[in-house]
Amino acid sequence: MTSNVGGIDRILRIAVGLVLIALAFTGTVGLWGYIGVVPLLTGLIGWCPPYAIFGWNTCKTKS
């Protein structure tokens, strides 16, 4: 499982995930806000299953 999520992509995923979870926890949005766990985890581990399926990669490659 090689990393396929790059720097800015990871930061955005983590931020969006944390915001969604916080909004769900405070009751601002419904239970669907806990879907923020998905972008949070993919941002933390640096690997996204749909990216792997479609062959996408936002990581910089080493020359």
According to the model, what pLDDT value does residue 60 have?
A: 84
More confident residue, 9 or 63: 9
For residue 41, tell me if it sits in a domain: yes
For residue 24, tell me if it sits in a domain: yes
Res. 62: pLDDT tops 90: no
For residue 11, tell me if it sits in a domain: yes
**What would the pLDDT profile of 5-61 be if each residue is shown by its tens digit?**
999 999 999 999 999 999 999 999 999 999 999 999 999 999 999 999 999 999 987
44 to 4, 9, 12: CA distances (angstroms): 12, 11, 11
Task: Give me the number of domains the chain comprises.
Answer: 1
> Residue 36: which domain range?
7-54
Q: Where are the alpha helices (DSSP H) in the chain?
A: 7-26, 37-45, 49-54
Res. 63: pLDDT tops 60: no
According to the model, what pLDDT value does residue 1 have?
A: 79
